[in-house]
Amino acid sequence: MALTSDKIFVNLPVKDLNKSVEFFKKVGYEFNAQFTDENATCMVISDSIYVMLLVEPFFQSFTKKEIADTAKSAESIIALAAESREQVDEIVKRALEAGAKPYNDPVDHGFMYSWSFQDLDGHMWEYMYMDPSAVQPQ
């Protein structure tokens, strides 16, 4: 039996919730007010992908582990598909204009194109486009 799920909720610690919300609004995302308070907010990526931005003390209440220092280490790379190469460029440019730091230069493999940045808290975001004709059916 295959394990399946139809939604994903990524939880990320942030230092300043208001600054993070303003940053991601400039990138182009919206937020679900129903799941927003002084400790957290729900950023809507799509109908099935959500990112919970949690202030660090609140995030810490969910784990016994230390919160990663993103200046020294990587805890993950959040990779999201875009509809085109142009959309990849548009999203990353908006993020950089909003205060993100560059992470990697654009990478062009012909059939796949990606570009990435670090958000205000150092989390790595990679946006990629893959030519649908390059994907082999399962």
Domain shared by 56 and 86, yes or no: no
Domain shared by 54 and 88, yes or no: no
Cβ(122)–Cβ(70) below 8 Å: yes
pTM summary value: 0.90
Domain shared by 96 and 53, yes or no: no
Sign of CA dihedral 36, 20, 73, 115: positive
pLDDT score, position 136? 74
Domain shared by 136 and 114, yes or no: yes
Domain shared by 83 and 51, yes or no: no
pLDDT above 80 for 31: yes
Domain CATH for 90? 3.10.180.10
Each residue of 80-91: pLDDT tens digit?
999 999 999 999
- Which of 44, 61, 78 is where one domain is finished? 61
Which residue range(s) make up the domain with 99? 70-138
pLDDT above 90 for 4: no
Domain shared by 85 and 130, yes or no: yes
Band the pLDDT of 9: cuts 50, 70, 90: very high
Phi and psi dihedrals of 97, rounded to 5? -65, -30
Pairwise CA distance, residues 25 & 108, whole Å: 27
pLDDT score, position 19? 98
